[in-house]
Amino acid sequence: MKKLLLATAAIALGAGGAFAEDVKIGLSLGFTGPLESMSPNMARGAEMAIEEANASGKFLNGSTATAVRADNTCADAAAAVAAVERLVTAEKVNGIMGGMCSGETIASLERVGVPNGMVMISPSATSPALTDIEDGGFFFRTSPSDARQGEVMADIALERGAKSVAITHTNNDYGKGLAESFKSAFEAKGGTVTMLQAHDDGKADYSAEVGALAAAGGDALAVVGYVDQGGSGIMRGALDAGAFDTFILPDGMVAQGLVDRFGSELETSFGQNPSSEGEGRTKFNELATAAGFDGTSAFAGESYDAAALILLAMQAAGSSDPRVYKDKVMDVANAPGEKISAGEIGRALELIAAGTDIDYDGASAVELIEPGESAGTYREVDFKGGQMNVVGMR
């Protein structure tokens, strides 16, 4: 009997490199803070990917994955570091979907992720600074760098007739990086920036900032901020003062919460956020609706894909050890291999177990370029009729 058990164990190890285990995936998101309205749908996107893997029974020899949520507050680096430390040391997670905002992602990656050899895949940290960060090969992101978003933002603004703009940005890594990227691209394409001004989140009154922006003037005001914080505060002040009625809005502002706050006051405003179109996006949206959450919400699809890449890289490596499976993330994300769409995580796990290469497209048309970030596509939106409308892809 002992020989039979040893033989069975050897077969199991040969097939997948490990026995069934309980794998934990940390979800480091700002459940409170400047993007708290986006976080629930992002979390559900990631959890849906995990549920798919479990339902298939194909993950790491029948292993089960569990999501563990942590509130990084999005804006507070110390809180984010503490949240991620808890995931790593107390919860002993095997990978992290997160962070969410750029500054806290940089802090938690440098202070916790890299020193502890933990894979982190962010769905929404877009600062260009993350491209060159010393990450030891442990960091990836399914959203593109703001170096790309700045170019797209400038093109859309100019095409919509905004020849001169004032820019206000939240005073952190995300805000500074995207504002500078947009300014550089806009001016290079012939536009004029009348003012570049930082604003702090959490203030009750933005009349001083609005006054300075109004004095500078421009065809539109670019608000590089957060929908649940100072970005909306600046817009409310600008509208009430009659300073601007057209706003250029990037990813941190493009959310249903913006429409809920301003409705028809956004009639001439426009913006963009990372997204995609096609079979994968359509399927993801359908699955999300069936699961009871909004798949069209910003970064929900990218969150699904971030969690999926962690699971698929584990499968490809035959290990839940982040020091091992980090080297498989780029492999499962890119060609060559069988195309994998949203809703096909079980199929992907089965193909990998059979020794077949996969090319994961998922919900956001995933294509990772060095050093492990999305090449990126964007949806252009406007707000005519008091609602958010997708009017094109970039």
Q: Tell me, what's the pLDDT at 7? A: 34
Query: How high is the pLDDT of residue 4?
Result: 33
**Percentage with pLDDT > 70 across the chain:** 95
pLDDT (0 to 100) of residue 276:
85
Q: Is residue 270 part of a domain?
A: no
What is the structure's pLDDT at 247? 98
pLDDT category, 12, cuts 50, 70, 90? Answer: very low
pLDDT in tens, 78-121: 999 999 999 999 999 999 999 999 999 999 999 999 999 999 99
Average pLDDT, the chain: 94
Q: Is residue 218 scored above 70 in pLDDT? A: yes
Confidence label for 8 from pLDDT (cuts 50, 70 and 90)? very low
Query: Alpha-carbon distance 325 to 319, whole Å?
Result: 6
Three-class DSSP category at 292: coil
The per-residue pLDDT for range 328-349, each reduced to its tens digit, is 999 999 999 999 999 999 999 9
Per-residue pLDDT, 14: 37
**Whether 178 and 222 share a structural domain:** yes
In a domain, residue 386? The reply is: no
State whether 139 and 150 are in the same domain: no
Mean pLDDT value across residues 285-308: 97
The number of domains in the chain is: 2
Phi, psi dihedrals of residue 365, rounded to the nearest 5°: 50, 55
For 117, the domain range is 2-143+278-374
Residue 267 has pLDDT above 60, yes or no: yes
Mean pLDDT of 118-139: 97
pLDDT band at 17 (very low <50, low <70, confident <90, very high): very low
Residue 394 lies in a domain: no
**243 and 136 in one domain?**
no
pLDDT above 70: residue 311: yes
**Under 8 Å between Cβ of 174 and 102:** yes
Asked if omega into 34 is within 30° of 0 (cis), the reply is no
Answer yes or no: do 111 and 188 share one domain. no
Q: Do residues 114 and 174 both lie within one domain?
A: no
Given 204, 231, 250, which residue is the final one in a domain?
250
3-state secondary structure of 258: helix
Asked if the bond preceding 336 is cis, omega within 30° of 0, the reply is: yes
Q: Are residues 6 and 106 in the same domain?
A: yes
Instruction: Indicate the helix (H) or strand (E) that contains 170.
Output: strand 164-170
Q: Is the pLDDT of residue 6 over 90?
A: no
In this structure, is the dihedral angle defined by the CA atoms of residues 111, 138, 153 and 286, taken in order, positive or negative?
negative
Whether residues 158 and 62 share a domain: the answer is: no
165 in the same domain as 110? no
Residue 325 within a domain:
yes
Q: Which segment, 2-6, 11-15, 141-145, is predicted with the most confidence on average?
A: 141-145
pLDDT for res 1 = 32
pLDDT at 50 over 70: yes
Q: Looking at the predicted structure, is the pLDDT value of residue 13 above 60?
A: no
47 in any annotated domain: yes
64 backbone dihedrals φ, ψ, rounded to 5°: -115, 135
- Say whether both 72 and 204 belong to one domain: no
Q: What is the pLDDT of residue 137?
A: 98
Say if residue 6 is in the same domain as residue 75.
Answer: yes
Residue 258 lies in a domain: no
**Do 125 and 175 fall into the same domain?**
no
Q: What percent of the chain has pLDDT over 90?
A: 93
Q: Are 377 and 394 in contact (CB under 8 A)?
A: yes
**112 in the same domain as 66:** yes
* 155 Cβ contact partners less than 8 Å away, ≥ 6 residues apart: 185, 189, 394
Q: Of 69, 127, 111, nearest to 93 (Cα)?
A: 69
CATH of the domain at 187: 3.40.50.2300
Model-wide pTM > 0.85 = yes
For the segment 222-259, what is each residue's pLDDT rounded down to a tens digit?
999 999 999 999 999 999 999 999 999 999 999 999 99
In a domain, 385, yes or no: no
Q: Which pLDDT band, with edges at 50, 70 and 90, does 376 fall under?
A: confident
Please indicate, yes or no, if residue 388 is contained in any of the structural domains. Answer: no
